[in-house]
Amino acid sequence: MRDNKVRVRFAPSPTGPLHIGGVRTALYNYLFARHHGGTFILRIEDTDQTRSVEGTESYINESLRWCGIEIDEGVNEGGSYGPYRQSERKDIYSEYVTQLLESGAAYYAFDTPDDLDRMRAEHESRGETFMYNHSVRDGLMNSLAMQESEWQSLIENGTPYVVRFRMPVEEEIAMSDLIRGDIKVNSSTLDDKILYKSDGMPTYHLANIVDDHLMEISHVIRGEEWLPSLPLHGMLYRAFGWDEPQFAHLPLLLKPTGKGKLSKRDGDKMGFPVFPILWPHGETARGYREDGYFPEAFVNMLALLGWNPGTEQEIFSMDELIEAFSLDRVGKSGSRFDPDKAKWFNNHYMQLKSDDELAGLFSLLLKEKGIEETDERVAEVVAMVKERASFVHELWDQSDYFFVAPGTYDEQVVKKRWKDDSAPMMMSLASLLKGVNPFTSAVTEEKVKEWINEKGYGMGNVLNLFRLLVVGASRGPHLFDIIGWLGRDETIRRIEKGVEQLKTGN
Ligand code: GLU
C-alpha cells in the first residue's frame, strides 16, 4: 500500500523549447504539490532519441527557475527515485517488459515497416482503417501467431522486433479523471500499442507507466492530449497488478481567436511569445522573459488559464496560488490565451514594484544607450512616469526627454502655439527662471504662474509652449516636476535652444 504522500511529476520530452502550455502543466503540478506539502519531480522523457533536441533540458530547467517553480527531485537535484532521465533507465524497462511477455500481457511482433504500410494501404483501398489488434493479430508476424521455436529463432538471429501490448477483447475499461470524471472505453476499440523495441528502448507508454509506479507518483497531471492514452495506461497498470495513480487531464490552451490549440508557431504569426524564455538555438524564438515580462506576472496569468479561484480575485502571488489551488477548480473546456491580458498583468506587477527596483532594471537599459545617471535620479524619473508603462522598456518611451534634450518639436503643437511673440515671451521666462531659488518643482511653479498672471499671458498658452521646448511635444508628467529634475541650467539651455530653432524655422 502506498502512503498518502502527494508526489507529482512534470515529464517533458526534450524535443525543443517548452511551450507555455507545458509551463502551465509544470505550474499546476507544482502548485498541487506545494498545496499538499508533497514533492514535485522533473523527469526527462527522452526515450525517443530521434526527436531529442540538444539544449532542451537546460532550457526547461532555466524556464522553471525563472518562473519560481522549484524542483524537489530531478536530474540536477537528485533524489532517491533516480535516475530521472529515462535514457538512463533502460535496464529497468527491459526487466518490466519481460514481466509482461512472461505473463502473456505482451507479445513479440516482427512485421516490418513495409509489411505494415502495405496492410495500411490495403485497408484504405477498402475504405477501412488498419489497426494492429485482436482482429488481425493472429494472421500477422508475431509470437501469438507463430510456433514458439519459429519466433525464438527469429530473435536469436537478430531479426528486429517490437513488443506489443495484447489488448484484451471486449472488456470495459473504466477510468476516472479528476477533471473529466468517469471515462469508459471498450477495449476492442483500441490497438495493440508498441511498448518496446529491439534496440532496447521502451516507448513512451511503457516507460511512463513503469516510472510513475516506481517513482510512487500519486497524481498524474498532464495535458489533455494524453487523454486518449488513458485506457491503455489503465490496462498496463492492471497487467502489472499495480495500483494506478489518480489522473487529471488539463484543458487545452486555445489561440486568442478561440479557434484551435495554441501552437508553437502562433507566436510568430500573432506577434506574442509562446515560450517562457528565449530559445537560443537554431531557429530562435522569443520568450516572455526577454520581452520584458516579470515572472510573477507571467505565472499569475498562466495560473488563471484553466483554473479559477471561484472568486473575483485575479492577482495572486505564488504563495497565494499555492494556498488557493485545487484541481476541482480546473475547467474542462479549453482556455483562450489573451495576449492583452498578459500585458495587463505585467502592468499591474510593474506598478507594485518599488521605484528603486525598477530604477535598477531601467539603469541597465540606459547604460546600453550610453546614458549615465545615478540610480537615485533614475528612480525619481521612474516615479514620475511608471504609471504610463507596462514594461521596463516602455519607461524609455515615456521618459527619453529627461535624458536627451529634444532635437525636434512636435509640428502640430508648433503650428498651434508658436506665434510671433512666442520667442521674446520664452526668453523672458528663461530670465525669470535664472532668478528662482530654490529651483524646485513647487517654487518654480509658484513663480512662473505669478509671472504669467502679472503679465496677463494665457496660462495654457505659456505652459504649453514651455513644455514644447522642454519635452519636444505635449506629453509627459507635471511640467514643473520635469524641470525640477532637469535643474536650472538644463531647463534654460532647452528654452534657448528651442527658441533658436523655432525662430529660424529649423
Ligand atoms: N513525455 C510526455 C510529454 O512530453 C509526458 C506525458 C505525461 O505527462 O504523461 O508530454
Cα–Cα distance for residue pair 472/140, rounded to 1 Å = 81
Give yes or no for residue 208 CB within 6 A of ligand 1: yes
Report CA(222)–ligand 1 centroid distance (Å): 7
Give yes or no for residue 11 CB within 6 A of ligand 1: yes
Which residues 6+ apart lie within 8 Å of 109 measured at CB? Answer: 132, 140, 141, 142, 143, 161, 162, 163, 164, 192, 194
With a cut of 50, which residues of the chain have pLDDT below it? Answer: 1-3
Report CA(38)–ligand 1 centroid distance (Å): 20
The three cell numbers locating residue 314: 485575479
- Which residue do the cell numbers 498532464 mark? 222
Residue 202: asked if its preceding bond is cis (omega within 30°), the reply is no
> Residue 453 in contact with residue 413, Cβ under 8 Å?
no
**Which atom of ligand 1 is the closest one to the Cα of 212?**
9
Among 25, 49, 208, 230, residue to substitute to test ligand 1 (most atoms within 8 Å of Cβ): 208
Q: Is residue 420 classed as helix, strand or coil in its secondary structure?
A: coil
- Which DSSP helix (H) or strand (E) runs through 291? none
User: Residue 322's closest CA among 39, 63, 30, 24?
Assistant: 30
Give yes or no for residue 444 CB within 6 A of ligand 1: no
Counting Cβ atoms within 10 Å, is residue 328 exposed (0-12), middle (13-18) or buried (19+)? exposed
Torsion sign, CA atoms 402, 404, 405, 409: negative
**437: DSSP letter:** S
HSE-up of residue 199 (Cα within 13 Å, Cβ side): 9
Counting Cβ atoms within 10 Å, is residue 347 exposed (0-12), middle (13-18) or buried (19+)? middle
**Which atom of ligand 1 is the closest one to the Cα of 10?**
8
Cα–Cα distance for residue pair 226/236, rounded to 1 Å = 15
Among 13, 217, 218, 220, residue to substitute to test ligand 1 (most atoms within 8 Å of Cβ): 13
User: Residue 377's closest CA among 487, 269, 267?
Assistant: 487
**Which atom of ligand 1 is the closest one to the Cα of 208?**
9
Most distant CA pair in the chain: distance in Å?
A: 114
Report CA(11)–ligand 1 centroid distance (Å): 5
Give yes or no for residue 15 CB within 6 A of ligand 1: no
Give yes or no for residue 205 CB within 6 A of ligand 1: no
Report CA(384)–ligand 1 centroid distance (Å): 48
Cα–Cα distance for residue pair 202/21, rounded to 1 Å = 26
* 370-375-376-381 Cα dihedral, nearest 10 degrees: 60
> Residue 266 in contact with residue 255, Cβ under 8 Å?
yes
- Residues of 180-203 as b/e, b for ≥16 C-beta within 10 angstroms? beebebebeebbbbbbbeeeebbb
**Which atom of ligand 1 is the closest one to the Cα of 25?**
8
Q: What DSSP string runs through 44-108?
A: B----GGG--TTHHHHHHHHHHHHT---SBBTTTB-TT---BGGG-HHHHHHHHHHHHHHTSEEE
Ramachandran region of residue 436, left (φ > 0), alpha (ψ -120 to 50) or beta? beta
Residue 390's pLDDT is 96
- Which DSSP helix (H) or strand (E) runs through 131? none
> Residue 207 in contact with residue 86, Cβ under 8 Å?
yes
Torsion sign, CA atoms 42, 320, 337, 224: positive
Cα–Cα distance for residue pair 248/26, rounded to 1 Å = 13
**256: DSSP letter:** T
Q: Is residue 455 classed as helix, strand or coil in its secondary structure?
A: helix
Give yes or no for residue 440 CB within 6 A of ligand 1: no
Q: What DSSP string runs through 106-125?
A: EEEE---HHHHHHHHHHHHH
Residue 143's pLDDT is 97
Among 222, 225, 227, 244, residue to substitute to test ligand 1 (most atoms within 8 Å of Cβ): 222
Give yes or no for residue 242 CB within 6 A of ligand 1: no
The three cell numbers locating residue 172: 470495459
Report CA(40)–ligand 1 centroid distance (Å): 15
User: Residue 397's closest CA among 408, 405, 385?
Assistant: 385
Among 18, 52, 204, 219, residue to substitute to test ligand 1 (most atoms within 8 Å of Cβ): 204
> What's the count of helices (H) and strands (E) in the chain, helices before strands?
20, 11
Residue 83: asked if its preceding bond is cis (omega within 30°), the reply is yes
Residue 356's pLDDT is 97
> Residue 31 in contact with residue 303, Cβ under 8 Å?
yes
The three cell numbers locating residue 73: 527531485
Give yes or no for residue 219 CB within 6 A of ligand 1: no
Cα–Cα distance for residue pair 288/144, rounded to 1 Å = 53
Give yes or no for residue 226 CB within 6 A of ligand 1: yes
Residue 67's pLDDT is 98
Active site residues: 264
Report CA(94)–ligand 1 centroid distance (Å): 20
The three cell numbers locating residue 268: 510568430
Report CA(403)–ligand 1 centroid distance (Å): 50
